[in-house]
């Protein structure tokens, strides 16, 4: 059977997963009476809740006697490590662009990788049904982007489709017709994407996606470059440098048929398959015939930019809510994650019972913590810190990100002011239609930690921020962090409404009456810049004297709700976030007040 392998690449929220839904529906993957799930490719709970794709996944459809393998990729920059590798196993790419927003940083990042690899993309202008759509302007922006990324003449002559994945139609012009469904897209893929190039020689496959299965063990998905593969065939695994990692036999060969993975008896060169039975094979490794000596060239992975320390939860409430609390369990879980997620780097920390986890951004690390707490883990996490490096001249460099903010014109001034306080350089400012302004900055990664919430507050929730790793630049000096101190509990027990009511003039609270607190736990934000130790357990003194006046009902201001991302962005270097399956608490690293004072004096002495 004829084969085509394509990846769908786009910025987050431009409609990739919805487009795959329509392709699956119109190619007859579902039976007529079968219940169809929205965003079928987003299979795990977190992807469904947040409406984003986190892991790349493959599916396949048949159209006019040709099998098309489709890979849906994440659009968020933090999961860019997935996308770079996917491009190794496809021969074409659908570049999806929102008809209102135009090409955004992640589009630019992935398209540059695709063009370097010689892929000839198909451009799809999606969401033309939006009231603020500006399809023709966006098309010009896409052409300018391709030209700026040094596309060849052949790549610049890209085919274009307009349409709406949500409404289920694509057409070669803006006017339609809209009654042909996805047929124009399928036909264009068959015509424009070349069949897989098959090399001569014995079996070779490059690992691209990895996952673990409770029944089959580790499953590696990749494309077969040459030769064929059958179950029980002897193979060996080579790393990028050609060093032997292991030899073994393939227990199962699975091919994609619709959304399902089906065991097959014979896999041919050019096809994308998943294989089981090799416990040490991972991404960017070559799985090949025992006669092969050289590894296939694999894409190097961009380095991590942020690191966090994951440590054992040692608070007085440790072990009361989670089932997995020991340092060995946390270590094993992080090591297993690092095996499957090549954009993460895990190493033993210098501190006792702690691991340092480095990744691409706050969202990626936040997703990992959220996944672990759902599995029953209890842990405490430090503030994200930026990974600095030294250049050849011995100068310290820090990661810089390209930040694109779309904001209403009336709020653009406050955005520019706040970003300049965070040591960002303004690169471009231009109207983007509909009374909105697009502002582009180059900002240090450490200045962006925790800025998302502040941006939404400053712009009344109307701004959209997109960011992408740009490169390294000389260290830009100190950036002012949180301006307020915190309120810290001085005892262990359950918070009392009367005490919280009395403390309201000290600052907003983060806890509610009846919540368990302990010494050193952060219970609120101080209105001033210093930390204050308070008593949230003190009840009202009751007497046995009757009075005619009734007791006032205690009316409390609603507390600040701390989500995981908000908490990680809020804490300072001497604080931790305690994460359990049912709670997120903030605390001081040193719970005892005297220890904190001693540490402070020591620091002052060092500075002096």
> Residue 243: pLDDT band by 50, 70, 90 thresholds?
confident
**Number of neighbours of residue 553 by Cβ within 10 angstroms:** 6
- Segment 192-212 shows an average pLDDT of 83
What is the pLDDT, as a whole number, of residue 464?
80
What is the pLDDT, as a whole number, of residue 45?
56
Burial class (CB in 10 A: 0-12, 13-18, 19+), 284: buried
- Segment 373-378 shows an average pLDDT of 89
What is the pLDDT, as a whole number, of residue 176?
72
Query: Annotated binding site, which residues?
Result: 13-18, 126-129
Q: What is the 3-state secondary structure (H, E, C) of 157-177?
A: CCCEEEEECCCCEEECCCCCC
What is the pLDDT, as a whole number, of residue 177?
81
Q: What is the DSSP letter of 411?
A: G
* Residue 412: pLDDT over 70: yes
What is the pLDDT, as a whole number, of residue 91?
85
**Average model confidence (pLDDT) across the chain:** 82
586 bridge partner residues: 522, 577
CB 475 within 8 A of CB 396: yes
**Spatial separation of the C-alpha atoms in residues 154 and 5, rounded to whole Å:** 20
In the chain, % of residues over pLDDT 90: 2
* Residue 315: pLDDT over 80: yes
Query: Between the CA of residue 170 and those of 10, 31, 120, 310, 340, what are the distances in Å?
Result: 17, 23, 19, 47, 36
* Residue 445: pLDDT over 80: yes
Q: What is the 3-state secondary structure (H, E, C) of 328-381?
A: HHHHHHHHHHHHHCCCCEEEECCCCCEEEEEECCHHHHHHHHHHHHHCCECEEE
291-328 per-residue burial string, b: 16 or more CB within 10 A, e: under 16: ebeebbebbebeebbbbbbbbbbebebbeebbebbeee
* Residue 385: pLDDT over 60: yes
Q: Which two tokens stand for residue 17?
A: 């997963």
What is the pLDDT, as a whole number, of residue 183?
87
Contacts of 363 (CB under 8 A, 6+ apart): 76, 78, 565
Query: Annotated binding site for GTP, which residues?
Result: 13-18, 126-129
* Residue 52: pLDDT over 60: no
* Residue 104: pLDDT over 70: yes
**Spatial separation of the C-alpha atoms in residues 479 and 506, rounded to whole Å:** 26
Helices then strands, counting H and E runs in the chain, come out as: 15, 32
In this predicted model, what pLDDT tens digit does every residue of 138-187 receive, in sequence order? Answer: 899 888 888 888 888 888 888 988 988 888 888 888 877 888 888 888 88
114-148 per-residue burial string, b: 16 or more CB within 10 A, e: under 16: bbeeebbbbbbbbbbeeeebbbeebbebbbebbee
Torsion-angle region of 200 (φ positive above 0: left; ψ -120 to 50: alpha; else: beta) = beta
**Spatial separation of the C-alpha atoms in residues 512 and 497, rounded to whole Å:** 8
Q: Give Dmax (Cα) for the chain.
A: 98
Query: Between the CA of residue 239 and those of 221, 244, 334, 364, 502, what are the distances in Å?
Result: 16, 7, 22, 26, 63
> Residue 77: pLDDT band by 50, 70, 90 thresholds?
low
What is the pLDDT, as a whole number, of residue 299?
67
CB pairs under 8 A, 24+ apart, for 244-251?
245/280, 245/281, 245/285, 246/278, 246/279, 246/280, 246/281, 247/290, 248/277, 248/278, 248/279, 249/277, 250/275, 250/276, 250/277, 250/278, 251/216, 251/276, 251/277
Using alpha carbons, select from 126, 124, 76, 96 the residue that is nearest to residue 10.
Answer: 96
> Residue 551: pLDDT band by 50, 70, 90 thresholds?
low
* Residue 340: pLDDT over 70: no
Q: Give the three-class secondary structure for 25.
A: helix
What is the pLDDT, as a whole number, of residue 430?
85
Structural domains of the chain, with CATH:
2-192 (3.40.50.300), 204-288 (2.40.30.10), 389-474 (3.30.70.240), 486-574+590-607 (2.40.50.250)
> Residue 82: pLDDT band by 50, 70, 90 thresholds?
low
């Amino acid at each position: 059977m004829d084969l085509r392998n394509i990846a769908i690449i786009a910025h987050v929220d431009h409609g990739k997963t919805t487009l795959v839904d329509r392709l699956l529906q119109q190619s007859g993957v579902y039976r007529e009476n079968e219940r169809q799930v929205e965003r079928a490719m987003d299979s795990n709970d977190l992807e469904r809740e947040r409406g984003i794709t986190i892991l790349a996944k493959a599916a396949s459809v048949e159209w006019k006697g040709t099998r098309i393998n489709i890979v849906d990729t994440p659009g968020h920059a933090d999961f860019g490590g997935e996308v770079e590798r996917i491009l190794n196993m496809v021969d074409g790419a659908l570049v999806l662009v929102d008809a209102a927003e135009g090409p955004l940083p992640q589009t630019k990042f992935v398209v540059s990788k695709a063009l370097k690899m010689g892929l000839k993309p198909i451009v799809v202008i999606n969401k033309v049904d939006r009231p603020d759509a500006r399809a023709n302007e966006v098309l010009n922006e896409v052409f300018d982007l391709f030209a700026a990324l040094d596309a060849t003449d052949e790549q610049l002559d890209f085919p274009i489709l307009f349409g709406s994945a949500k409404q289920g139609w694509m057409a070669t012009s803006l006017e339609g017709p809209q009654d042909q469904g996805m047929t124009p897209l399928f036909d264009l893929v068959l015509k424009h994407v070349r069949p897989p190039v098959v090399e001569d020689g014995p079996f070779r496959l490059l690992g691209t996606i990895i996952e673990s299965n409770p029944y089959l063990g580790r499953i590696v998905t990749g494309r077969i470059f040459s030769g064929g593969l059958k179950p029980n065939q002897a193979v060996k695994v080579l790393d990028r440098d050609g060093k032997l990692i292991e030899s073994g036999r393939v227990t199962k060969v699975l091919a994609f048929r619709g959304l399902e993975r089906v065991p097959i008896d014979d896999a041919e060169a050019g096809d994308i398959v998943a294989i089981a039975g090799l416990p040490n094979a991972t991404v960017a490794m070559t799985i090949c015939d025992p006669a092969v000596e050289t590894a296939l060239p694999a894409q190097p992975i961009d380095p991590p930019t942020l690191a966090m320390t994951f440590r054992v939860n040692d608070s007085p409430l440790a072990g009361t809510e989670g089932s997995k609390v020991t340092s060995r369990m946390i270590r094993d879980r992080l090591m297993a994650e690092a095996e499957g997620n090549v954009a993460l780097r895990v190493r033993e920390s210098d501190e006792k019972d702690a691991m340092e986890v480095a990744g691409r951004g706050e969202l990626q690390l936040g997703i990992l913590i959220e996944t672990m707490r759902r599995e029953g883990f209890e842990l405490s996490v430090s503030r994200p810190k930026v990974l600095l490096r030294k250049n050849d001249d011995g100068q310290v460099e820090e990661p810089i990100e390209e930040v694109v903010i779309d904001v209403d014109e009336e709020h653009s001034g406050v955005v520019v002011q706040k970003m300049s306080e965070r040591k960002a350089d303004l690169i471009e400012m231009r109207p983007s239609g509909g009374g909105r302004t697009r502002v582009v900055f180059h900002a240090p990664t450490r200045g962006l930690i925790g800025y998302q919430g502040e941006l939404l507050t400053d712009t009344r929730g109307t701004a959209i921020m997109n960011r992408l790793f740009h490169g390294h630049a000389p260290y830009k000096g100190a950036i002012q962090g949180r301006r307020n101190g915190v309120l810290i509990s001085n005892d262990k027990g359950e918070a009392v409404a009367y005490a919280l009511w009395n403390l309201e003039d000290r600052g907003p609270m983060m806890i509610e009456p009846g919540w368990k607190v302990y010494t050193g736990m952060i219970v609120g934000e101080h209105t001033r810049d210093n930390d204050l130790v308070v008593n949230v357990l003190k009840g009202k003194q009751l007497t046995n004297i009757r009075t005619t006046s009734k007791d006032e009902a205690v009316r409390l201001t609603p507390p600040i709700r701390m989500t995981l991302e908000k908490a990680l962005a809020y804490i300072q270097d001497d604080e931790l976030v305690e994460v359990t399956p049912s709670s997120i608490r903030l605390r001081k690293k040193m719970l005892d007040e005297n220890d904190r004072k001693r540490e402070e004096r020591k620091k002052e002495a060092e500075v002096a």
